[in-house]
A and B are shown apart, each in its own frame.
Chain A
């Protein structure tokens, strides 16, 4: 069919390109398999990808700028909304960076609770990854089972923080509130019931030939490239490099927990899949150990100028009330300086850079978001692959657009 191009308005560019050469198509930003509003500009030769360019910014919210207008403690709620599948990890990275500046000593129980909650959250985050990854590759059932298991974790998070997606459970100098009664029992109930569910996922996917042929040998990235592109987290460990910040640079007492860092050598979608599947088992191990370590004790640091007093004390003691008023109304001042703190979030190295000029609001907060860095390596993973494999590769690097466009 020939279309007359004579009468088109000038803004329409007429591309004189016969169909047997390369074609540029736009995947997203409303594509369900790009896990958010990500647009990929793909140059195709037939079905093969010649060039891929991620185009981001559709979800830009200016969060980093927003930090500069909020008191330190108010920044915690913003971190929830970056990687919304791993909010507790974000909370932890931010509060630990500020605690580093303040030089606060966190009580033992608070540290154990932080580890416990972060590992539960990591499992929840991996479950969403698994469900959506499988859904992209055509396995619908896994998606429902994953979300059923995640629901149980969200119930636990809701029970202690009150929020499901945006818990804001950690505070600078401790945690918001102690765990509710009977929490250990409920965690135990979860850890007992989770392995059979994981076995189910393994039956449905890991041993499934269809799934294997969609993922094995697809989206390869070499260890050298992975390092050069700054990939971190499970995506890096899928390329044979066993770097895990919980091991390499432990925080919140991770050095005292017994867990393995799963590493796979193949560097393809399958390897990254296997790393995350095995990581869930390891996280479960940490959850069990942390739950066994919960001893009664304070959950907030002894720093009356920074940490809100207990409610009882606030109502009965004048000095506690004054501190309460000052912290809430004016915030606390943080010593001048800058700090970088990195944690192992579910997607990789989540680093927080905080610069303080001595006031109650940060001068600059920057996040080194793992999804952002991992996404930048997507082109070398997909170039030379078939177009149908792009969704498999995107799923395998587990990106969250809220974190990329912060």
Chain B
């Protein structure tokens, strides 16, 4: 008798479970068909860094080393150089600029401390998250990869347009 009861109860349990499963079918899907469909990231998302330039295209970084000091994983390498030329010809906004600015993405933990530390808003987190490479050495990104004017953006993400409505609107970056 108890075997019979077991069979009946287990069958009931399975039917009950399957009814939940089937009731999911018409509901909204949460799965994103990445990479065919872009992933939505939030405005504050911490992706690959961007080094910014001002309206005239001059690099904002003044090589103050604060980001390197703030970095918990010591992955920022900067070489500061003086640029005594007149303001219009300079590479950076100031006389002092970073002639080398490397971030080692083998070490970076995307904590955002460098962004918090920068007094010039010269470095921010972008939204690129596709950073996989075939060789470890390629994880070392130089200024050529990081400058906002040069960094290649992936088409596989979109940024939620506003803090207000994150699920429906987005902007193409």
Contacts and interface: CB of A to CB of B under 8 A. Distances in A.
B110 A163 contact: yes
A59 interface: no
Contact of B44 (A159, A182, A308): A159
B112 interface: yes
Contacts of A139: 17
Contact of B66 (A176, A211, A325): A325
B110 A203 contact: no
B109 A161 contact: no
Interface string A21-41: 000000000000000000000
Interface in A297-354: 308, 314-315, 321, 324-325, 328-329
Given A78-B72, A207-B16, A158 B44 contact: yes
Contact of A77 (B42, B65, B113, B163): B113
A141 B21 contact: yes
A343 B65 CA distance: 36
Nearest to B118: A328
Nearest to A208: B13
Given A204-B17, A314-B119, A209 B10 contact: yes
A315 B119 CA distance: 7
B119 A163 contact: no
Interface string A182-212: 1101100000000000001001100111110
Interface in B105-151: 109-113, 116-117, 119, 125
Contact of A159 (B16, B21, B24, B42): B42
Contact of B166 (A145, A159, A203): A159
A62 interface: no
B17 A141 contact: yes
Nearest to A139: B17
Contacts of B164: 181-182, 185
Contact of B46 (A70, A163, A185): A163
A132 interface: no
A180 interface: yes
Given A209-B12, A328-B66, A162 B45 contact: yes
A155 interface: yes
Best-buried of A73, A148, A158 by chain B (most CB within 10 Å): A158
Contacts of A356: none
B163 A166 contact: no
Contacts of A210: 10, 13-14
Given A162-B42, A200-B20, A77 B72 contact: yes
Contact of B42 (A158, A209, A315, A328): A158
B34 interface: no
A168 interface: yes
B4 interface: no
A185 B167 CA distance: 13
A159 B17 contact: no
A160 interface: yes
A255 interface: no
Contacts of B12: 209
Contacts of B42: 155, 158-159, 162, 180
B72 A74 contact: yes
Contacts of A200: 20
B111 A161 contact: no
A290 to B, nearest CB: 19
Interface in B81-100: none
Contacts of B125: 162
Contacts of A47: none
A151 B163 contact: no
A317 to B, nearest CB: 12
Nearest to A160: B44
B70 A328 contact: yes
Contacts of A315: 119
Given A77-B111, A161-B44, A208-B13, A70 B72 contact: yes
Best-buried of A148, A209, A314 by chain B (most CB within 10 Å): A209
Nearest to A186: B166
Contacts of B17: 139, 141, 203-204, 208
A155 B166 CA distance: 9
B124 to A, nearest CB: 11
A135 to B, nearest CB: 14
Interface in B14-48: 14, 16-17, 20-21, 24, 30, 41-46
B43 A180 contact: yes
Contacts of B117: 324, 328
A215 to B, nearest CB: 13
10 contacts: A74-B70, A77-B111, A139-B17, A155-B166, A168-B112, A186-B166, A325-B66, A329-B65, A329-B66, A329-B70
Interface of A: 70, 73-74, 77-78, 139, 141, 145, 148, 151, 155, 158-163, 166, 168, 176-177, 180-183, 185-186, 200, 203-204, 207-211, 308, 314-315, 321, 324-325, 328-329
Q: Pick the 10 closest A-B CB pairs, nearest first.
A: A180-B163, A162-B44, A74-B72, A182-B164, A162-B46, A209-B9, A181-B163, A159-B42, A208-B13, A77-B111
